[in-house]
Amino acid sequence: MVSGGGSNLQALLDGAGDAVEFALVLSNKSDAFALERAAKAGVPTKVVHYEDYPDRRAFTQSILDIMKDSGIDLICLAGFNRILDPVLVDAYPLRMMNTHPALLPAFGGAGMYGHHVHEAVLTSGAKLSGATVHFVTPETDAGPIILQAVVPVLDDDTPEALAQRVLRAEHRIYPAAVRLFAQDRLEVTGNRVRIKPAN
Ligand code: GRF
């Protein structure tokens, strides 16, 4: 599920491995460049506009119907910028992932998206930031953490420079997380994810 440039989608298309079949790329923006990336990769696309529905519940229900029709096993949020009703995550428990551009549980939750995250990291004075791929639960940015990658915060960083460094980390760990899922190597106990050894 995408809304924008889709660089994480591209990383998934390029790196999720042969065991993964991309059933659908769903966007809430018809001009998302991510849709072009999907088309180029031969992946079907759909656009669902929030504005066409009376409320968040109806919008999310329509996405849920599409997902069911597509017979998908795993939903990956990749820069999707709308808050969803819990009805979707409830239908895909531990089968929905997100990438967050900071080291959760720090710098997550309400209002922590896009440049807000990197500005908050710089303001805090933290020397490290990074990327987190986690399972989605109804509470924003609080689901079991699958993989994290650390990047340095440099003395002369701007939010944009930090964002680019973090994005490159996301591009490494998101495909890796999906590969582990496809290999059935993620074992979740409470909020902890254990990575089982390869067979
Ligand atoms: C990523 O930084 C992701 O963490 C955040 O939105 C950005 C998406 O970028 N949720 P892209 O569309 O994948 O290029």
Residues 104 and 128 in one domain: yes
Residue 197 lies in a domain: no
Best mutation site among 25, 99, 104 for ligand 1 pocket (most ligand atoms within 8 Å of CB): 99
| Ligand 1 atom index nearest CA of 10 | 13
Residues 58 and 145 in one domain: no
Is-catalytic flag, 115? no
159 pocket-lining for ligand 1 (C-beta < 6 Å): no
Instruction: Name the DSSP class of 128.
Output: E
pLDDT at 160: 98
Structural domain boundaries enclosing 103: 93-186
Residue 194 lies in a domain: no
pLDDT at 199: 79
CATH of the domain at 86: 3.40.50.170
Cα–Cα distance list, 197 to 11, 35, 193 (Å): 24, 35, 13
Residues 62 and 148 in one domain: no
Residues 3 and 88 in one domain: yes
- Phi, psi (degrees; rounded to nearest 5) at 160: -70, -45
pTM above 0.85, yes or no: yes
Give the Å distance between the CA of 199 and the centre of ligand 1.
32
Count Cβ atoms below 10 Å from residue 11 Cβ, excluding itself: 22
Residues 88 and 154 in one domain: no
Q: Whose CA is nearest to atom 8 of ligand 1?
A: 79
Residues 82 and 103 in one domain: no
Q: Whose CA is nearest to atom 6 of ligand 1?
A: 79
| Ligand 1 atom index nearest CA of 77 | 10
Residues 19 and 82 in one domain: yes
The domain total for the chain is: 2
Residues 98 and 62 in one domain: no
Residue 9, classified by CB atoms within 10 Å of its CB into exposed (0-12), middle (13-18) or buried (19+), is buried
Per-block mean pLDDT, blocks of 10 residues, the chain (199 long)? 97 95 98 98 98 97 97 96 94 98 97 96 98 96 98 98 98 98 97 95
Domain boundary (36, 69, 92) is at 92
Best mutation site among 115, 140, 167, 173 for ligand 1 pocket (most ligand atoms within 8 Å of CB): 167
pLDDT at 60: 97
Residues 28 and 111 in one domain: no
101 pocket-lining for ligand 1 (C-beta < 6 Å): yes
Residues 135 and 176 in one domain: yes
170 pocket-lining for ligand 1 (C-beta < 6 Å): yes
Tens of pLDDT, residue by residue over 91-146, are 999 999 999 999 999 999 999 999 999 999 999 999 999 999 999 999 999 999 99
Residues 57 and 132 in one domain: no
Query: Do residues 49 and 71 lie in contact, with contact meaning Cβ atoms separated by under 8 Å?
Result: no
Domain boundary (31, 65, 92) is at 92
Domain boundary (55, 75, 92) is at 92
Residue 196 lies in a domain: no
